[in-house]
Amino acid sequence: MKRIPEKTIISLVNSCTCKSHLLQVHSHLLRTSHFYNPTIFLSFLSRFALPPLRDLSYSGRIFSCFPEPNVSLYNNMIRAHSLSRGSARSGVQLYQELLRSGISSNALSETVAKDGHQSDCFLLTALMDFYSCLEKGGEACKVFDEMSHRNVVAWNVLISCHTRNQRTLVALTLFDMMRNSNGCQPDDVTCLLVLKACANLNALEFGQKVHRYIVEQGLHNVKSVSNSLITMYSRCGCVEEAYDVFKKMLERDVITWTAMISGLASNGYGLDAIEAFKEMQREGIWPGEQTFTGLLSACSHSGLVKEGRMFFNTMSRDFGVVPNIHHYGCMVDLLGRAGLLDEAFDLITSMRIKPDAAMWRTLLGACRIHQHNALGEQVIERLVELKAQEAGDYILLLNIYSSAGHVEKVMEVRKMMKEKGIRTTQASSTIELKGQVHQFFADDISHPRKKEIYEMLAEINQQLRIAGYVAEITSEVHNVQGKSDAYALSYHSEKLAIAFGVLSTPPGTTIRVAKDLRICLDCHNFCKVLSAVYNRKVIIRDRNRFHHFQEGRCSCSDYW
């Protein structure tokens, strides 16, 4: 058989106008050695993978037959998936496969430029998303900077990239940049991403600005946007604003009701959450797994043991929702809060599913509150078995021994932590002022107003001591080296954030702080006294729950 020139075959492939013709060409290629010619194969694959004859399923099978695909072949398949919104995950998998093959990630970018796709917004946006999924934020930003045209999807991917890579503050800045650009404006997806960032940062003022933009653009009628507004306001401790959004919605689904119930729960409005659940049923909305997580959490945070048991026992029988690990965790928290530690332990050990580390930590926290030393030791053993012990677990155990006056046990645990090289994670706290989020760490000296902040904190400490506040010296500061315990407690991140809030806002203004770890006992006492002495409402959201401090009391009733 006379060998057909390469150019002729490529021309034949490019001239095909229907799939049947391409299939005939495919049959011919299989009977000859041309099928494994990289240049011909690339041309054939591109014709099958890209419009107008795109067939992702068939082109995928063809691609898998090539023994050693190069970056150009990968590029074509990734581009094909980028053009299909439902195939983004497959594109990510291909990109990961590309990296595993030994081809550097930069090679894909080079090939994009070489093949003349710099202006292909779909391909470049998909490439940004792939970098983001692989936590290569810098490379995603580089692709964005080099784009000649940026549509709203590209902006959204960039914002998502920053939030995914824990650069949430930058995500808020990008929203403003997008609004001030001469190109596209934020859409509903942008607002969803930014509202999530506001919720994570406790950035209420910025969230309110996004809310105003949503109303101006008529996006408040988009159900998912309103649902996110409810979550944002709830996570910023503003249940009234969340409920206002809820009431104005024309249509509510199970996500809407769950968001409202969960918001009420996390802020300590347990009875209101139960009433919302009953109203949800009256409207004929069927609850889901997350609805019951919010409901049981409401019972837990408000100490409603009887109600919690009732909902837990009926969720499977009446609603067909089988309890999962989160539901059991809520029940352990509920029983632990009530001091029913043995019942909580029995519940964990009788579960049909394997308990996770979070559940054991919940019980460990209850052991600290109720000073149940023996059970606390058992829980630590369980965490060791799971190989999931963290510094915070030992901190809780240290506090149990410290509160009980068991000095020898405290020394043993500290020695164990030192031998294992276990150290606590540096906590951070954020506070928003005039739309700008300020972040603080323990002993932080990076803030431009640090001198004023530390002077204010010294003044606050003096006023609180006059009112009877005494620093709670516990083992929670065991890892601070070279400083006295009292000094370390005075400079925890939330105290610095609160001092900045008192310094920067008029008297009577509510101070809102978000902390990424659990608030310590001393800082909790500090906030209670401060709320009375300075006549300020202080709202702190830590890793576990909200703390609303007012007139010397906390909404958590000193259990957290």
Residue 478 — φ and ψ, nearest 5°?
-60, -25
Contact (CB, 8 A) for 51 and 45: no
Beta strands across the sheet bearing 538-541: 436-441, 428-433, 511-515, 538-541, 546-550, 553-554
- The two beta strands, 538-541 and 511-515, are parallel
Distance CA 472, CA 292 (A): 37
Q: CA-CA distance, 72 to 42, in Å (whole number)?
A: 8
Length of the chain: 560
Phi and psi, residue 433, nearest 5°: -140, 120
Name the phi and psi angles at 198, rounded to 5.
-60, -40
Cα(222)–Cα(275) distance, rounded to whole angstroms? 26
| Alpha-carbon span 304 to 525, nearest angstrom | 24
**pLDDT of the residue at 232:** 96
- Model pLDDT, residue 512: 94
Phi, psi of 344 (to 5 degrees): -65, -45
Rounded to 5°, angle at Cα 502 from 497 and 504: 90
Question: How far from 309 is each of 263, 368, 384, CA to CA, in Å?
Answer: 21, 23, 30
**Residue 395: strand, helix, or coil:** helix
**The pLDDT of residue 235:** 92
Cis link prior to 52 (omega < 30° from 0)? Answer: yes
Nearest CA-CA partner of 49 in 77, 23, 19, 16 = 77
Distance CA 422, CA 427 (A): 15
SS (H, E, C) 335-381: HHHCCCHHHHHHHHHCCCCCCCHHHHHHHHHHHHHHCCHHHHHHHHH
Q: What is the pLDDT along the chain (560 residues), one digit of tens a residue?
A: 456 777 778 878 877 778 787 888 888 777 777 777 888 888 888 888 877 777 888 888 888 888 888 777 887 787 777 666 556 567 667 776 776 776 655 555 565 545 554 445 666 777 777 677 667 778 888 888 877 778 888 888 889 888 877 788 888 999 999 998 877 899 999 999 999 999 988 899 999 999 999 999 999 889 999 999 999 999 999 999 999 999 999 999 999 999 999 999 988 899 999 999 999 999 999 999 999 999 999 999 888 999 999 999 999 999 999 999 999 999 999 999 899 999 999 999 999 899 988 899 889 888 888 888 889 888 888 887 877 667 777 777 777 777 767 788 888 888 877 877 777 667 899 999 888 889 999 888 999 999 999 999 999 999 999 999 988 765 444 443 334 444 445 588 999 999 999 999 999 999 999 998 888 888 999 999 999 999 999 999 988 788 999 999 998 878 77
Give the span between the Cα atoms of 206 and 522, in whole angstroms. Answer: 30
CB atoms within 10 A of CB 268: 21
Going from the C-alpha of 473 to that of each of 28, 490, 552, the distances in angstroms are 82, 11, 20
Residue 354 makes CB contacts below 8 A (sequence gap 6+) with none
* H/E stretch holding 294: helix 289-301
- 196 forms bridges with which residues in the sheet? none
Q: What is the pLDDT of residue 278?
A: 96
What does the alpha-carbon distance between residue 34 and residue 52 come to, in Å, rounded to a whole number?
Answer: 24
Question: Structure tokens of 204?
Answer: 């209420």
100-103 contacts, C-beta under 8 A, 24 or more apart: 101/69, 103/70, 103/71, 103/74
Contact 75, 115 (CB under 8 A): yes
Give the integer Cα–Cα distance in Å for 189 and 282.
31
- Terminal-residue alpha carbon distance, the chain: 82
Q: What share of the chain is helix, strand, coil (3-state, %, to 5)?
A: 65, 5, 30
- Tell me the C-alpha distance between 538 and 512, whole Å: 6
Scanning the structure block, which residue is given the tokens 């959490």?
297
Count CB neighbours of 360 within 10 A.
25
User: In this structure, are residues 46 and 76 in contact, taking their beta carbons and an 8 Å threshold?
Assistant: yes
Task: Report the alpha-carbon distance of residue 436 to residue 62 in Å, rounded.
Answer: 52
Residue with tokens 């007139």: 551
Biggest CA–CA distance in the chain, Å, is: 102
d(CA 375, CA 540): 30
Global model pTM greater than 0.75? no
| Amino acid letter, 520 | C
Distance of CA 411 to the CA centre of its chain: 36
